[in-house]
Each structure stands twice: as C-alpha cells, then as structure tokens.
Amino acid sequence: MDLSFILSPKFLVDNIETISLIIAGFLLIMFDSLVTGYALRFADAVKESTATKVREFGKKTNLKKVETFGTKLVSESLAAAVVLVYCYFGVIVLAHHVFAPILESLKSIITLVLVGIFLLISYVVNTKSVREAIREL
C-alpha cells in the first residue's frame, strides 16, 4: 500500500517555499529580542545620524521646513526602512537557505514533519514559561 498521498501530498510538496516562509516568520516573531535588540538599535543610530545631517543641511540652506519637518520625515523613514530590510532579509535567508532545503530533503514525509512543527509551534505559543524563556535568550 502506497502512503505517499498521505505522507507527501502534492499541494504540500509544491508549496515548500511558502511553508518555509511561514516557519521563518514565526521564528523571527518568537525571537523578537534580536529585532528589538540589534535591528532597532541600528535603526536608532541611523535615525540620529540622518537627523543630524538633515538638520545641518537645513541650517546651511536656511530652509526651516527642511530643518524641522524634513529632519523627522527623512530620519524616521530611513529607520523604518532599516527594520523592514532586516525583517525581509531575515525571513528570506532563513526560509530559502535553511528551512526550504530541510523540508525539500524531507518531502517524502512532509506531512509528518509539518504536523510535528505545528505541534511544536502550538506548544511554544500556548506555554507561557517557554515563551518567556525564549524571550530571555
């Protein structure tokens, strides 16, 4: 009896990239201390540096709007872009270079693997002590 239609259904095997993106997104959310720790600190540094430079440019050119409104707009936009780029590349690199190859090699039993991953995610999400331990890393 062939169990491949249960263990590796075509719709799961065809969507390994999407599944790996979802798993990578979940990990990025669970380990958000990395985002708040490193990416946001870097974004703050970009914001402060840009604000200083735009403010100086506004003073040199005697443009009050650039000095006030432009400083806030440009510096905060660049800081937001830094965080978005970090999240995007973090998810893409994790999904395409870590999870997709693993799932691809296990595609003959993808259903069991995904059920196991779902149970693990469910346990982590619903167990407060585990969530807190992860956040402390």
Q: Give pLDDT, residue 34.
A: 66
From first to last of its 137 residues, the chain has per-residue pLDDT tens of 578 888 889 999 999 999 999 999 888 888 777 666 777 788 888 888 888 887 787 777 777 666 667 777 888 888 888 888 888 888 899 999 999 999 999 999 999 999 999 999 999 889 989 888 887 77
pLDDT of residue 101: 95
Domain count, the chain: 1
Instruction: Give the residue numbers spanning the domain of 131.
Output: 4-136
Structure tokens that stand for 98 in this block: 């870590």
Residue 103 Cα to chain centre, angstroms: 19
User: How far is CA 36 from its chain centroid?
Assistant: 11
pLDDT value for 67: 64
Instruction: Identify the pLDDT of residue 84.
Output: 87
- Measured between alpha carbons, how far is residue 17 from residues 69, 75, 98 in Å? 42, 35, 11
The three-state DSSP-derived secondary structure of 56-86 is HHHHHHCCHHHHHHHHHHHHHHHHHHHHHHH
